[in-house]
Amino acid sequence: FPAEISEFQRTVGGLIELVDQLAKAAESEKMKAIGARNLLKSMAKQREAQEQQLQALIAEKKMQLERYRIEYETLCKIEADQNEFIDQFIFQK
């Protein structure tokens, strides 16, 4: 009977060691998964911030384009007025 108890204790000891190893491996994988999840969240936030920056830049460039368009139209009108004035001045001589 003592030999059987000793064998049982060895078996249980081996089982406990195996369970401890599996617990450590599971904890390690759990930490890796948490790290990966946090990294993905961080990347998503960075992408969202970058998208907002790009949207702001697009809006700024659209306003700049509109200002340039208005300035161009104004300059075209001034050019036409000046050409008309030059033509009238030349015909008066």
What distance in Å separates the CA atoms of residue 91 and residue 85, rounded to the nearest whole number? 10
The DSSP letter of residue 81 is: H
Chain Cα centroid distance, residue 60: 20
Question: What's the alpha-carbon Rg for the chain, to the nearest Å?
Answer: 40
Which range among 3-7, 42-46, 68-72, 79-83 shows the weakest confidence by mean pLDDT? 3-7
- The 10s digit of each residue's pLDDT in 21-43 is 999 999 999 999 999 999 999 99
Average pLDDT over all residues of the chain: 95
Q: How many CB atoms lie within 10 A of CB 32?
A: 10
Per residue in 53-64, pLDDT tens?
999 999 999 999
